[in-house]
A and B are shown apart, each in its own frame.
Chain A
Amino acid sequence: MSNKAYLELNNIDQMFGTYQALKNVSLNIKEGEFVCFLGPSGCGKTSLLRIIAGLDTPTSGSILQAGKDITYAPVNHRDFGIVFQSYALFPNLTVADNIAYGLVSKKFSANDRRVRVTELLATVGMSGSEGRYPAQLSGGQQQRVALARALATSPGLLLLDEPLSALDARVRAHLRQEIKQLQEKLGVTTIMVTHDQEEALTMADQIVVMNQGVIEQIGTPQDVYAKPNTPFVAEFVGEMNFLSAEVSGVGVMQSAGLTLRCDQSSHLTIGDPAQLAIRPEDVRFQTEGEEDNKMNAKVLHLEFLGSRMRALLELENHERPILADISMNEMAELNLIQGQSVVCQLPHDRLHVFGGKA
């Protein structure tokens, strides 16, 4: 991976009538990176992908691919392969003809085409399906053929528009791995649009979290999960409990009668409203040693999730209950039952602090 940006988006704005779909989006993608655009529907992730593909034109801003300005280049002058949610396989053409579709215009000889098709089918693990028609393939197989077709012309950029969302859960998990491995092997710069945070976390080198037309955070999956920049990211990627609070001192917050210690926040001063956030798996129950941030809670409800138990806790003085995940090993020792009171701890190094009211 070189450090130079392969794809550069500068201050992209996109208006649909009076509705602003994208607001001042800037982004650099390095060569060979796997980037996920993650966000809820309507956040602008698909609009951004369509602009990169040239299917839509930005209202303002510019796009550079490998140093060349492609903002207004027609689709067929750009260098990318694309896989759509529907796969858009040509139903009347065989698998081989589908994959070779772009090779015909690239002046490959018939023999070279056949060799390339065989090679690509082997790459996506579908050797021997040359003569079959899309309708005879399962969803997962269609998706592989679509991938092979997009890769046939060896594009510099691979665009995937929610490629896994039409598949059932088991096939999806399996294909996730395969696509990621294939991408690593080929080293092709890849952008995938998804609304599934798990998909983004498992596949991406960089995640671009988007909401309402703006980029909320860009970072590695670990960063985005462990250090969310905004409450939106915190809640959208993984699960998060929020407590409203007020800054009462340096590294000290007051939340409905509870005094909580947390990491010092540079941009908040005493008296400011704030939100404290903690992930369910970070709530602790075995609290030997540390005395900070302990409180009484009542177990309102327990839900068995297989590998862990999810507890709904009512904290003292707090109306909104929080979620806590307890591993089954820990559960064996704690033996929680519904309605019971328990002491829990919100470790200060696991508390996220956001400014503003909830």
Chain B
Amino acid sequence: MSGFSVTSRSSSKAGQPWYGRRGFDEWSLGAILTLGIIGLFICVVLPIYTLLSKSVENKDGDFIGLANFVQFFETPSLFSSISNSLFIALLSTVIVTSLAFLTAYGISRTRIPFKGLFRIVLVLPILAPSLLPAISLVYLFGNQGILKDVLMGASIYGPIGIVIGSCFWTFPHALMIMLTALANTDARLYESAEVLGASPMRTFFTITLPAAKYGIISVAFVVFTLVITDFGVPKVIGGQFNVLATDIYKQVIGQQNFEMGATVSMILLLPAILTFITDRWLQRRQSALLTSRAVPWTPPIRKVVDKAFFALMIVVCVVILGVIAMAVYASLVTFWPYNQTLSFKNYNFDLMDGGGWDSYWNSIQLATYTALIGTGFIFFQSYLVEKLAGFKLLKWFFHLFAILPLAVPGLVLGLAYIFFFNAPNNPLNGIYGTMTILVVCTISHFYTVCHLTATTALKQIDSEFESVSASLKVPQIVTFWRVSLPVCMPAVLDIASYLFVNAMTTVSAVVFLYSYNTSLASVAVLNMDDAGDIAPAAAMAVMIMLTCMVARLVHWLLGNVILKHTQHWRQR
């Protein structure tokens, strides 16, 4: 029972000591949980609240109702961004969702060879900042691009470029959800269909597709939100084509019009919140579909189908590798397109704007701190939420706060941080412009996925461990250290690697928060591109991608070599 309902029945509790029936142990852990909630409240809830209030204020801070929104909708150039954003997002959603479905089907439901290799190549874009495909597209189809003629006179600067670039970087996210959705098969259903004489087509539409239905809807919403809130790609390759995300950036960075930035942010929050609600709703539905007695299905040999999917995989992989290779090549060419000899001249970042090599090291620092502090904080707090007895109300609020960042686009969060932490009357004002705020913001931005990963892993371990250790008079923290943490080690590594990679590649939130001393590699890509130094921008993007690859390699080594060694208890 929670502490709250116990105290409410004080009349029958004459014999109860004032501190309740918890030991010192449990009270200390409860205090840590409370600190965690306060932390999330300050780093997530308050900034967003400040942003909300800014959108209904004028420059002097007076409440003006919805006047900012009225002004936004009455400005034709601003308003056209909405239809532009919707168009780009819808088109990318259709393309990415179909491609992700087909490739996921190829991996999980056909007998094509080299599935492992395809899988690695298909998720490569997740290791690069979203700016990399945009830069690559400039080299491929831009004014001096090597494949410019393919477009037959159309310009890559604008909707075409934005859509291709967006598809490239959102594809791995879509693929991973789709793979999960298609992973659960029940051979008994397929056997029944065969026995009942259903054609392969009918089987596909009555069994395969309905089972993946929620995955497909989920992918569509996720891609839509990612595209509509991303500003890296439209910034680099959008030309004069305005979208909502670039509007915020221009309003805030270009015109210092913070209130209008807040207003546009509020509009951007809508699709994200819609996605968030849909996703919650879908997850409740999806779980009901799975039964523990399902028998995994092994795809039959279908020569034509397998060949078609093999061809598709090759095409998609060639496109992905081609885009990446173009960026790498462009970064190595001395002076495009006049001096095509290869050199590392473009990696001489210290000669360019954007912070030089310092910004790269800053990014490494940010990613390391984010991975270490973030993983520690998130995992321990999730542990308390999942395994500490009582404190029901606290836990409910914690969960709410932990889920909230999923509904907030990075750009919006970054802006919210400016409003909240830069306010002169905020006692935390001191962290503004330091590495601390970048770390805090990045952890908050990517909090939800990590929290859910940790929670899922913790839910899988026996809920009685804590009761047993209490009965053996072992403090709960000892059991955390000796049992829960080692058992969840794979999930902990996943979280750390996820945070590291995202901290390296993210632009959206931190672009508002970096200062002269804390410029970052991903922001440097943006700024160098802005200054016309496209080749160095490509070089920096390549550096980010290589670093993320190394991080993933380390993750793999830790997970497969060291963990295999210390986790032999998993084997029977």
Contacts and interface: CB of A to CB of B under 8 A. Distances in A.
> Residue among B473, B474, B478 with the most chain A CB within 10 A?
B473
A254 interface: no
Contacts of B21: 54, 57, 72-74
A77 B20 CA distance: 13
Interface string B1-32: 10000100100110111001111011000000
A106 B473 CA distance: 8
A273 to B, nearest CB: 39
Contacts of B472: 81, 101-102, 105, 149, 152-153
Nearest to B469: A101
Contact of A91 (B9, B12, B487): B487
A90 B475 contact: no
Contact of A133 (B16, B462, B465, B569): B569
A211 B355 CA distance: 74
A60 interface: yes
Contacts of A135: 569-572
A228 to B, nearest CB: 33
B1 A72 contact: no
Given A90-B483, A92-B567, A76 B1 contact: no
B308 interface: no
Contact of B467 (A59, A88, A134): A88
Nearest to B474: A105
Given A59-B9, A104-B474, A153-B472, A72 B465 contact: no
Interface string A48-60: 0000011111011
B462 A86 contact: yes
B199 interface: no
Nearest to A88: B464
Given A102-B472, A105-B475, A72 B17 contact: yes
A62 interface: yes
Interface in A151-167: 152-153, 155
Contacts of A152: 472
A143 interface: no
Interface string A131-146: 0011110000000000
A337 to B, nearest CB: 42
Nearest to B483: A90
A102 B473 contact: yes
B468 A105 contact: no
A75 interface: yes
A285 interface: no
A56 B465 CA distance: 16
> Residue among B22, B461, B483, B487 with the most chain A CB within 10 A?
B483
A205 B336 CA distance: 91
Given A57-B21, A74-B21, A80 B471 contact: yes
B470 interface: yes
A82 interface: yes
Nearest to A69: B15
B462 A88 contact: yes
Interface in A86-107: 86, 88, 90-94, 101-102, 104-106
B483 A60 contact: no
A105 B475 CA distance: 9
A75 B466 CA distance: 10
> Residue among B16, B464, B471, B483 with the most chain A CB within 10 A?
B471
Contacts of B25: 74, 76
A275 interface: no
Contacts of A94: 569
A75 B470 contact: yes
B486 interface: yes
A56 B462 contact: no
B468 A82 contact: yes
A53 B569 contact: no
Given A57-B21, A59-B9, A92 B474 contact: no
Contacts of A80: 471
A135 B16 CA distance: 42
A88 B464 CA distance: 6
B26 A74 contact: yes
Contacts of B571: 135
A71 interface: yes
A132 to B, nearest CB: 9
Nearest to B571: A135
A224 B465 CA distance: 35
Contacts of B293: none
A232 interface: no
Contacts of B13: 72
Contact of A72 (B15, B389, B483, B572): B15
A217 B568 CA distance: 49
Interface in A243-285: none
Contacts of B20: 72
Contacts of A62: 15
Interface of A: 53-57, 59-60, 62, 69, 71-78, 80-82, 84, 86, 88, 90-94, 101-102, 104-106, 133-136, 149-150, 152-153, 155
16 contacts: A53-B467, A55-B467, A56-B1, A72-B13, A74-B25, A74-B26, A76-B475, A82-B468, A90-B465, A92-B567, A101-B474, A102-B474, A105-B472, A135-B572, A136-B572, A150-B471
Which 8 pairs from chain A and chain B are nearest by CB? Answer: A102-B472, A74-B23, A75-B470, A88-B464, A133-B569, A60-B12, A72-B21, A84-B464
Given A82-B467, A105-B473, A149-B472, 9 more contacts: A53-B467, A60-B12, A71-B16, A72-B16, A75-B470, A80-B471, A84-B467, A133-B569, A135-B571
